[in-house]
């Protein structure tokens, strides 16, 4: 054998050995990466389970709703609200001391227009009701947390209410895709708000968008550390995992930074009602050119205890936000807003087709456009008043718009909404 052949075999053996080393290194790296991924997943899942345990209290009874929700009936003294540091020794108030629906000794009764009804229920009621001394809570699932950007931010808003009195081009460019069509009052001290809102199921183009109709009770400067209490209905695939229309509430005491959440997804709101589950779907829904269904929502500050109570419809007093949660709203509100909000996340200047309200413009009127009617505020004497100094605001009226009116049956009202992308809103 000549020397050149020997050198060739040695080079071949070295190449062969180096190949095995590289293969072994690759396999080891892949195995380590896989193991590391499993370890991270296990840690994250453990974190999820701890958070779910805090949210999902031990139930007395459970219902599997036809819409896929699980409703747990939790003893009233074991609800999430009482985990709040400020409410550790809180005594649950079973009813408000005063009610602003009473005027001259009798309750205000609203007249309904032809073809209109307020007979709305929740889907889980088809399976039953919770027993006495319990409250219904929509169970949070692990897949709900998986969709969140973080466990810490789950159930929280990322942006505050519109600022119509100070809006400029810079504010619009930094709006994060949030668009509104609202009526509002400011410049006084307010102790509550009320509205009757008809209920629709707007279409959402992207799962990380939403559409809602609500009112905001605001205290403090909107450019600062303001407080907010909010209530209405919404469609939010990211939050609920579907496109159903749901009753919701929200609160914050620090401009959406750390405090507050939707519904009962954190400690704070004290529920006392056995029949209504916050975050659960509501039905029936208004139909374009057909039957119209609406909900009435009232939030007011109890003159005696100072807590902010919420009522749904004419009969369901749901519960309250303790006054101790707030700074500015510990006294009164400085602004009330009513209306619709959507998130539009279209790219390259192209608007999405996410709808607000019915998805139709206000000029189409009753049976086709969405409305707020009998909008009222509560004064310091605990009386409901129809405001006479209402202003309106939209960022892009070609996408979503609003028109106000007044009559004997509906008091102050407005139609609002729109389709998003259309010939005038590209």
Compute the Cα dihedral for 122, 83, 228, 351 and give only its sign.
negative
Alpha carbon distance 35, 88 (integer Å): 42
Return the minimum-mean-pLDDT range out of 19-33, 146-160, 236-250, 340-354: 19-33
Length of the chain: 426
Residue range 229-236: average pLDDT? 98
User: Which has the closest alpha carbon to 271: 73, 32, 30?
Assistant: 73
Q: Show which residues are catalytic.
A: 230, 341
Residue range 49-69: average pLDDT? 94
User: pLDDT tens digit string along 102-137?
Assistant: 443 334 444 445 455 567 899 999 999 999 999 999
Residue 3 in 3-state DSSP?
helix
Is pLDDT of 86 > 60? yes
Residues 6+ apart with CB under 8 A from 246: 233, 234, 235, 236, 240, 279, 280, 281, 282
What letter would DSSP give residue 110? P
- Say what the pTM is: 0.86
Residue range 258-277: average pLDDT? 97
Q: What pLDDT is stored for residue 176 in this prediction? A: 75
Averaged pLDDT score across all residues of the chain: 87
With 0-12 / 13-18 / 19 or more C-beta atoms within 10 angstroms meaning exposed / middle / buried, residue 180 is buried
Please state whether 203 falls in left (phi above 0), alpha (psi between -120 and 50) or beta.
Answer: beta
Tokens of 250: 């929200």
Is pLDDT of 35 > 90? no
Alpha carbon distance 163, 359 (integer Å): 23
Domain-wise residue ranges, the chain: 56-417
127 to 67, 69, 135, 137: CA distances (angstroms): 11, 11, 15, 15
Residues 6+ apart with CB under 8 A from 167: 393, 395
Which helix or strand (DSSP H or E) is residue 36 part of?
Answer: helix 3-55
Residue 303's CB: how many other CB atoms inside 10 A?
A: 15
Contact indicator for 204, 211 with CB cutoff of 8 Å: yes
User: pLDDT tens digit string along 174-207?
Assistant: 467 899 999 999 999 999 999 999 999 999 999 9
Beta bridge partners of 336: 185, 217
Residue range 248-273: average pLDDT? 96
Contact indicator for 342, 209 with CB cutoff of 8 Å: yes
Is pLDDT of 215 > 60? yes
Alpha carbon distance 149, 396 (integer Å): 29
| E strand residue ranges, 38-101 | 59-64, 70-75
Residue 383's CB: how many other CB atoms inside 10 A?
A: 13
Q: What pLDDT is stored for residue 18 in this prediction? A: 57
Beta bridge partners of 411: 407
Residue range 55-84: average pLDDT? 97
Tell how far CA 131 is from the center of its chain.
27
User: pLDDT tens digit string along 282-309?
Assistant: 999 999 999 999 999 999 999 999 999 9
């Amino acid at each position: 054998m000549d020397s050149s052949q020997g050198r060739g075999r040695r080079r071949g053996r070295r190449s062969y050995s180096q190949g095995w080393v590289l293969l072994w290194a690759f396999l080891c790296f892949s195995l380590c990466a896989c193991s590391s991924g499993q370890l991270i997943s296990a840690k994250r899942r453990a974190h999820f389970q701890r958070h779910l345990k805090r949210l999902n209290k031990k139930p007395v009874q459970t219902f599997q709703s036809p819409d896929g929700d699980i409703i747990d009936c939790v003893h009233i003294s074991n609800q999430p609200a009482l985990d709040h540091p400020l409410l550790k020794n809180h005594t649950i108030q079973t009813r408000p001391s005063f009610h602003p629906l009473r005027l001259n000794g009798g309750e205000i009764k609203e007249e309904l227009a032809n073809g209109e009804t307020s007979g709305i229920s929740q889907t889980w009621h088809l399976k039953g009701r919770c027993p006495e001394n319990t409250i219904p809570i929509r169970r949070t699932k692990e897949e709900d947390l998986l969709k969140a950007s973080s466990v810490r931010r789950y159930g929280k808003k990322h942006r505050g209410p519109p600022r119509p009195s100070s809006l400029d081009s810079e504010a619009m460019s930094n709006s994060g895709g949030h668009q509104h069509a609202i009526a509002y009052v400011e410049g006084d001290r307010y102790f509550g708000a009320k509205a009757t809102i008809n209920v629709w199921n707007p279409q959402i183009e992207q799962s990380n968008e939403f559409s809602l109709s609500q009112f905001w009770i605001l205290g403090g400067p909107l450019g600062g550390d303001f407080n907010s209490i909010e209530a209405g209905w919404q469609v939010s695939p990211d939050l609920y995992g579907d496109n159903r229309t749901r009753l919701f509430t929200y609160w914050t005491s620090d401009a959406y930074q750390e405090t507050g959440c939707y519904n009962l997804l954190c400690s704070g709101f004290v529920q006392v009602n056995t029949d209504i589950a916050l975050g659960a779907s509501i039905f029936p829904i208004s139909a374009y050119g057909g039957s119209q269904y609406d909900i009435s929502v009232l939030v007011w500050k109890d003159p005696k205890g100072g807590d902010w109570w919420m009522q749904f419809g004419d009969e369901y007093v749901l519960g309250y936000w303790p006054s101790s949660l707030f700074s500015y709203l510990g006294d009164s509100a400085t602004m009330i807003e009513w209306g619709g909000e959507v998130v539009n996340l279209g790219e390259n200047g192209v608007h999405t087709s996410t709808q607000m309200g019915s998805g139709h413009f206000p000029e189409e009127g009753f049976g086709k456009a969405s409305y707020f009617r009998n909008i009222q505020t509560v004064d310091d004497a605990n009386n409901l008043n129809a405001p006479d100094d209402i202003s309106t605001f939209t960022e892009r009226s070609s996408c979503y718009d609003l028109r106000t009116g007044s009559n004997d049956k509906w008091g102050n009202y407005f139609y609002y909404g729109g389709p998003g992308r259309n010939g005038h809103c590209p």
